[in-house]
Chain A
Amino acid sequence: MAPHTVIGPPGPLHLPRWSELWEAREVLWRFGQRDILLRYRQTLIGVAWVILQPIVTAGVFALVFGRVAQLPTGGIPYFLFGYVGTLLWTVFASTVNRAAGSLVSNQALVSKVFFPRLLVPLSTCVSVLVDFLVALVIGFGLLWWFGVWPGWAILTIPVWVTLCVALAMGIGLAAAAIMVRYRDIAYVLPWAVQTLLYASPVAYSLEAVPDAVRPYLLANPLTWVLEGMRWAMLGSAAPPVWQIVGAVVVSGLVLFAGLLVFQRYEREFADLI
Chain B
Amino acid sequence: MSAATAISVRGLGKTYRIAHASDRPTRATEAIVARLRHPLRRTTFDRFEALTEVSFDVAAGTALGIIGRNGAGKSTLLKILTRITPPTRGQAELAGRVGSLLEVGTGFHPELTGRENVFLNGTLLGMRRQEITRRFDEIVDFSGCGQFLDTPVKRYSSGMYVRLAFAVAAHLETEILVIDEVLSVGDADFQRRSVQKMRDAAAQGRTVLYVSHQLHTVTALCSEALLLDRGTVSAYGAVEDVLATYRASVAEHAVVQRETRAQVPAGILHVVAATTTRLTYLPAEPKRFTFTIQAEAAPDGPYFLSCHINDANGGVVAQCDSRLGGLWFHPDQPQEVTLDLRQPWLKPGTYTVDVFLCRVGIVDVWDGAVTFDVEQELPYAVTGTAESFGRGMVLADFDFGVR
Contacts and interface: CB of A to CB of B under 8 A. Distances in A.
Contacts of A113: 82, 84, 100, 102, 106-107, 124-125
Contact of B28 (A10, A109, A112, A182): A182
Nearest to A42: B111
A77 B260 CA distance: 85
A184 B29 CA distance: 8
Contact of B112 (A37, A188, A271): A37
B96 A271 contact: no
A5 interface: yes
Nearest to A23: B126
B294 to A, nearest CB: 36
A112 B102 CA distance: 6
Given A3-B97, A182-B26, A188-B28, A109 B88 contact: no
B120 A30 contact: yes
Given A183-B26, A271-B85, A7 B92 contact: yes
Given A7-B86, A34-B120, A184-B27, A114 B100 contact: yes
Interface in A17-55: 24, 26-27, 30, 33-34, 37-38, 41-42
B95 to A, nearest CB: 6
Contacts of A38: 109, 111-112
Interface in A58-89: none
Given A27-B123, A271-B16, A4 B93 contact: yes
Contacts of A185: 28
A7 B102 contact: no
Nearest to A8: B91
Given A8-B90, A115-B126, A34 B84 contact: no
Interface residues of A, number: 36
B203 interface: no
A111 interface: yes
Given A113-B107, A113-B124, A5 B98 contact: yes
A21 to B, nearest CB: 14
Interface in B330-383: none
B84 A111 contact: yes
Interface residues of B, number: 45
A260 to B, nearest CB: 17
B91 A7 contact: yes
A33 B25 CA distance: 36
Interface string A177-192: 0100111110010000
B106 A182 contact: no
B129 interface: yes
Given A7-B91, A38-B112, A270 B84 contact: yes
Contacts, number: 110
Contacts of B80: 7
Nearest to A24: B126
A103 to B, nearest CB: 14
Nearest to B119: A30
Contact of B124 (A10, A30, A188): A30
Contacts of A178: 28
Interface in B63-89: 79-89
B92 A6 contact: yes
B97 A184 contact: no
B241 interface: no
Contacts of A27: 123-124
A34 B118 CA distance: 12
B120 A3 contact: no
Given A34-B112, A108-B106, A109-B106, A114 B84 contact: yes
B116 interface: yes
Contacts of B93: 4-7
A9 interface: yes
Contact of B94 (A5, A26, A33, A267): A5
A55 B175 CA distance: 53
Interface string A149-165: 00000000000000000
A33 B124 CA distance: 13
A113 B119 CA distance: 15
A2 interface: yes
A98 to B, nearest CB: 16
Interface of A: 2-10, 24, 26-27, 30, 33-34, 37-38, 41-42, 108-109, 111-115, 178, 181-185, 188, 267, 270-271
Nearest first, the 9 A-B pairs at minimum CB distance are: A182-B28, A2-B96, A8-B91, A184-B27, A112-B106, A114-B83, A270-B85, A7-B92, A5-B94
Interface of B: 16, 25-29, 31, 79-98, 100, 102-103, 106-107, 109, 111-112, 116, 119-120, 123-126, 128-129, 175
